[in-house]
A and B are shown apart, each in its own frame.
Chain A
Amino acid sequence: MSDLTLPMVRRRPLDPPDELGELRRQAPVHRLTFADGHLGWLVTGYAAARAVLADPRFSNRPERMHPPIPGRMELARREGFRLPPGMFLRTDPPEHTRYRRLLTGQFTVRRMKALEPRIAEITEEHLDAMEAAGPPADLVEAFALPIPSLVICELLGVPYEDRARFQEDARILFNLETKAEDALAAVGSTMAYLSDLIGRKRDKPDDDLLSGLVEGGELTDEELTGVGFLLLLAGHETTANMLGLGTYALLTNPAQLAALRDDPSIAETAVEELLRYLTIIHLGPVRSAVEDVEIEGVLIRAGETVALSLPAANRDPERFPGGDTLDVTRPATGHLTFGHGIHQCLGQQLARAEMRIAYPALLRRLPGLRLAVTPEEVPMRSDMSIYGVHRLPVTW
């Protein structure tokens, strides 16, 4: 029996728990006791994490998983629980392949490049509003959240006025302490909203992604609702937290901020490094072995659950030497922040485009940007499954 449970406490806001680095120094794979007593595994090494994520012998279906920390995934293992069809992230091939296929054409590199002028426009509008209102401001509320939120709403064809509703549901769903019943209610509320919206798109299609899927005719309304739910939620919380936490990281590392502000041509590299260094998906993902698999010399038996620490893997010195330091000129491509294997983030090129535009625009417009509180006073999202800052009080 292992007495190791998942280390959760951060000593410094931008660094993963020290114990994770210590574990990685000892070995890439460790025995881990899960919240329900299941004896599974914890992966902290880069090569091992990549191997698990790319291996089709590991399933991503929630009902197979054990929760690494209390509260999480309790719902998924409950008898009679069924994930709505269309939420394809938590499925395996061939089911997964069908949904993913229908969406890959929507998020290509070319499409996202074509969206850039619109993203730039949205970014400038928010900077105008921030300047007009004058300092101080909460950067999360004024900048980091609304930009990705508007972009994903526009892309999907979801009226932006309705955002308050699913932002609240998202907050409940991503909170680590949310009870199963409350999570279920939040899923139900967003699904009901989207179901109604899909009905309206069916009657009166528009020039947006959901309308396109409706007209494609391959998915039922229930499936469309599930797909819409996944994309809307994923588009809201992820890039928003990268923009908020990334700005915090730059403001507390002034030399790095100056490097990016003074040379916007490094934006692409800087974005990859921020993605790697911050690794906002700080808990999980988890996978369960459907047959015996050997990973880095460790035999993982069929039925065992593996929790992956992406923050630890992304700082593995074997892959990223000196990885505990933020260096916006480092070639950080190949990090695991978007995952790896068939579930790798569908919206990654959209996220990259948004960040590549938003960070330099912010630093160019407000060159005197600084925290309005001490770094210690910024409330961190340690209580959420996507890490970041709850608020970021800034002035300029």
Chain B
Amino acid sequence: MEIKADTTVCIGAGMCALTAPQLFDQSEDEGTVLVLQREVPPELEDTVRRAVTLCPSGAISAT
């Protein structure tokens, strides 16, 4: 599973960074999504799916 993030639609709600802090952070200035690691370890796949569902702006996806 691989993460894709679109900072142009991100609204900085921070749900990804809160749900999967191992893989997501927020940029210092903009507050928009930062992907720390694109490849999702198998044990974190469910967590990433939850982060994708919780993202209010549809900025992150995982396939």
Interface positions of A (Cβ within 8 A of B): 53-54, 100-101, 103-110, 333-334, 339-342, 344-346, 348-349
Contacts known (A344-B11, A348-B13, A349-B14); A105 close to B58, Cβ less than 8 A: no
What residues on B are CB-neighbors of A100 within 8 Å?
Answer: 11-12
Please name the 5 residue pairs, one residue from A and one from B, whose CB atoms are nearest each other, closest first: A104-B12, A104-B31, A105-B31, A344-B56, A109-B14
Which residues of B lie under 8 Å from residue A101 when comparing CB positions? 30
Could you name 15 residue pairs across A and B whose Cβ atoms are closer than 8 Å? Answer: A100-B11, A100-B12, A104-B11, A105-B26, A105-B28, A105-B31, A107-B31, A108-B17, A108-B31, A110-B26, A333-B54, A342-B56, A342-B57, A344-B13, A346-B12
Query: How far does the Cβ of B22 sit from chain A's closest Cβ, in whole Å?
Result: 13
Q: Are B11 and A342 in contact (CB under 8 A)?
A: yes
- Of residues 18 through 37 on chain B, the ones whose CB sits less than 8 Å from some CB of chain A are 18-19, 21, 25-32
CA distance A344 to B12 in the complex (A): 10
Which residue from chain A places its CB closest to the CB of B21 in the assembled complex?
Answer: A109
Closest to A352 in B: B18
**Residues of B contacting A: mostly:** loop
User: Which residues in A have their C-beta under 8 angstroms from that of B54?
Assistant: 333-334
Instruction: Determine the residue in chain A with the shortest Cβ distance to B13.
Output: A344
Distance A37 CA – B55 CA, assembled complex (angstroms): 36
B56 touches A108 (CB 8 A): no
The CB with the most chain B CB atoms within 10 A, among A104, A110, A346, is that of A104
> Do B12 and A340 have beta carbons less than 8 Å apart?
no
How many B residues have CB within 8 A of the partner chain? 23
Closest to A268 in B: B18
- B50 CB–A CB distance under 8 Å: yes
- Cβ 8 A contact of B50, one of A333, A344, A348: A333
Smallest beta-carbon distance A92→chain B, Å = 13
A361 to B27, CA, bound (A): 31
Q: Which residue of B lies closest to A345 (CB)?
A: B13
- Chain A residues lying within 8 Å of B28, measured Cβ to Cβ, are 105
Q: How far is the CA of A106 from the CA of B12 in the complex (A)?
A: 10
| B17 contact set on A, CB distance < 8 A | 108-110
Q: Determine which of A105, A107, A346 lies in contact with B29 in the assembled complex, contact meaning CB atoms within 8 Å.
A: A105
A101 to B29, CA, bound (A): 10
Contact B58 A54 (CB under 8 A): yes
A49 to chain B, nearest CB (A): 13
Distance A107 CA – B12 CA, assembled complex (angstroms) = 8
Closest B residue to A101 using CB positions: B30
- B25 contact set on A, CB distance < 8 A: 110
Residues on B with beta carbons closer than 8 Å to the beta carbon of A106:
31
Cα A267 to Cα B52 with chains together (Å): 24
On whether the beta carbons of A109 and B26 are closer than 8 Å, the reply is: yes
Q: Given A54-B58, A105-B27, A105-B31: A334 and B13 within 8 A (CB)? A: no
Given contacts A101-B30, A339-B56, A344-B56, 20 further A-B contacts (CB under 8 A): A53-B56, A100-B11, A104-B31, A105-B26, A105-B28, A105-B30, A106-B31, A107-B31, A109-B14, A110-B26, A333-B19, A334-B53, A334-B54, A340-B56, A341-B57, A342-B56, A344-B13, A345-B13, A348-B13, A349-B18
